Amino acid sequence: MKAFLTGIDGFAGSHLADRLVEDGEEVSGLVVSVVGEGPRERLSRIIDRVRLEPGDIRDQKLLAALFREIKPDVVYHLAAVASVQEASGAPDEAFSVNFHGTASVCGALLDSGSEAEILVVTSGEVYGDQPGPHRETAPLRPANPYSVSKAAADLLAFQQFYHRGLRAVRLRPFNHVGPRQAPSFVCSDFARQIAEIEAGRRPPAISVGSLDSVRDFLSVRDVVEAYRLAPGRLEHGEAYNVASGTGRSIAEILDLLLGMTEIEIEVKQESSRRRRGDVPEMVGDSTRFREATGWEPLHPLEEAIAALLDEWRTRMKRP
């Protein structure tokens, strides 16, 4: 089995690459550069067992040539401006990468004549602010630049299936947590601050925004297992949620992390950390995906958060 990953050196992408290599699959992927901290660090366990090609997902000709040469059986499209915070700071770039990049990847696959299946990873954020748990039949109501770009990419993947026969499946994962996650995400941000406090790099106070928001958190290991199970089991053109079905407030996540340190830490809420376009509650219903694949989340959230905190502690010991 040959797998091609966009975003192979990203958070979920690197974990998925690890898993596929362990399964004996032939794995290749596109990175912005084959040198630098990202590919070396996140893919350090498998760097000699994967093929990395430098390039931009918006370069359709490059991708088509790679698809002709590599002949993948499945393409996992994960590359993206991946957080609400990043997209809000640079909305034009987020739309360019997330929408035009998806159009390029889909177009390149069709141009290459490949029969590969493509799993287009969008986001549970596309549902926006409406009562949940969200099912795939809920309307798309994106509430911020990130979710707008992801909703557009989601619809584009459907259009390429409907009008051009692309063997595309849309996956809508909800929040996931674990090592290698960038500090632009709330769990990693909290974990980094705690590790900095423990290392004596900042006073014993953690800065937070709103703690009332509720999210559907999964271990990245469970999300990766969902991606691994998806090829060949889902209906082309359709959308599937990847979610736990359980909501947890940001306050609960903070309490979990504070319970993992022996230091007494003050919590300081700052209005500057409140995000515009933040949705109060976002929980998914993944019944459809579970019935199609047999997938179930097996790894406790506490385990994923502890691993994330331990990784930040290790980073704080570096010069």
**Domain map of the chain by residue range?**
2-178+217-245+283-298, 186-213+248-282+306-316
pTM for the model: 0.96
Q: What is the per-residue pLDDT across 236-282, written as a single tens digit (0 to 9) for each?
A: 999 999 999 999 999 999 999 999 999 999 999 987 766 665 789 99
Identify any residues that bridge with 28 across adjacent strands, giving them in sequence order: 4, 51
CA angle 99, 5, 296 (to 5 degrees): 95
| Residue partners of 111: CB distance under 8 A and separation at least 6 | 60, 64
Q: What is the per-residue pLDDT across 97-134, written as a single tens digit (0 to 9) for each?
A: 999 999 999 999 999 999 999 999 999 999 999 998 99
Fold of 2-178+217-245+283-298: Rossmann fold (3.40.50)
Structure tokens at 108: 């390149």
Structure tokens at 247: 């909501």
Sequence-ordered alpha helix ranges (H) in 165-286: 186-198, 220-229, 250-258
Question: Do the Cβ atoms of 282 and 125 come closer than 8 Å?
Answer: yes
Estimate the crossing angle of helix 250-258 against helix 186-198, to 10 degrees: 20
Cα–Cα distance, 227 to 12 (Å, whole number): 10
Evaluated on CA atoms 282, 216, 253, 201, the torsion sign reads negative
Look up tokens 């998925």; give the residue: 16
* Residue 71: C-alpha distances to residues 48, 115, 116 (Å): 20, 9, 8
What is the residue type of 131?
Answer: P
Class of domain 186-213+248-282+306-316: alpha beta
Sequence-ordered alpha helix ranges (H) in the chain: 11-22, 37-42, 60-70, 84-89, 91-95, 101-111, 145-164, 186-198, 220-229, 250-258, 287-293, 301-316
Q: What is the per-residue pLDDT across 180-238, written as a single tens digit (0 to 9) for each?
A: 999 999 999 999 999 999 999 999 999 999 899 999 999 999 999 999 999 999 999 99
Cα–Cα distance, 153 to 249 (Å, whole number): 28
Domains 2-178+217-245+283-298 and 186-213+248-282+306-316 share a fold: no
What is the residue type of 310?
Answer: D
